[in-house]
Amino acid sequence: MPSFVRSYASHTYALMRIVTGFLFLWHGTQKLLSVPMPPPPQVPPFVIAIAGPIELIGGMLVMIGLFTGWAAFLCSGLMAFAYWMAHGTQALLPIQNMGELAALYCFVFLYISSHGSGIWSMDAARGAA
């Protein structure tokens, strides 16, 4: 790692956690509230009922850094399941089966769950980071 970036490692990690949670929670608002647009018509109701709350609440918890390890682990598992349920059966590679976003979210959340909240988090503010 370049030395000029090393001193900002905790800041860039916090930004990654915040932005990932922020982007993920919008998938939940789409499923549950049809904001900013309704979910695609081919999404089964059980997916909306299960994935929507996990995406919305899990994304919010990761973004604000509260119970981050558990929330990110749950989100990672959801994305692994989503990948294999919706994409993995279509083709071998994510570029072929349109599953890149699910695969990327899965591993980013897995990293966040193993790394914890870090700075700029509610967990750090309450002394549990």
Q: How many CB atoms lie within 10 A of CB 125?
A: 14
- Residue 5 pLDDT: 87
Percentage of the residues of the chain whose pLDDT score is greater than 70: 98
Read off the pTM: 0.94
Q: What is the mean pLDDT of the chain?
A: 95
C-alpha–C-alpha distance, residues 104 and 85, integer Å:
15
pLDDT in tens, 13-64: 999 999 999 999 999 999 999 999 999 898 899 999 999 999 999 999 999 9
pLDDT in tens, 69-124: 999 999 999 999 999 999 999 998 999 999 999 999 999 999 999 999 999 999 99
102 dihedral zone (left: phi>0; alpha: psi -120 to 50; beta) = alpha
Our CA angle for 100, 103, 106, nearest 5°, is 145
- Residue 30 pLDDT: 97
Q: Which of 15, 117, 28, 113 is nearest to 66 (CA)?
A: 117
- Domain range enclosing 54: 3-125
C-alpha–C-alpha distance, residues 59 and 52, integer Å:
10
Structural domains in the chain (count) = 1
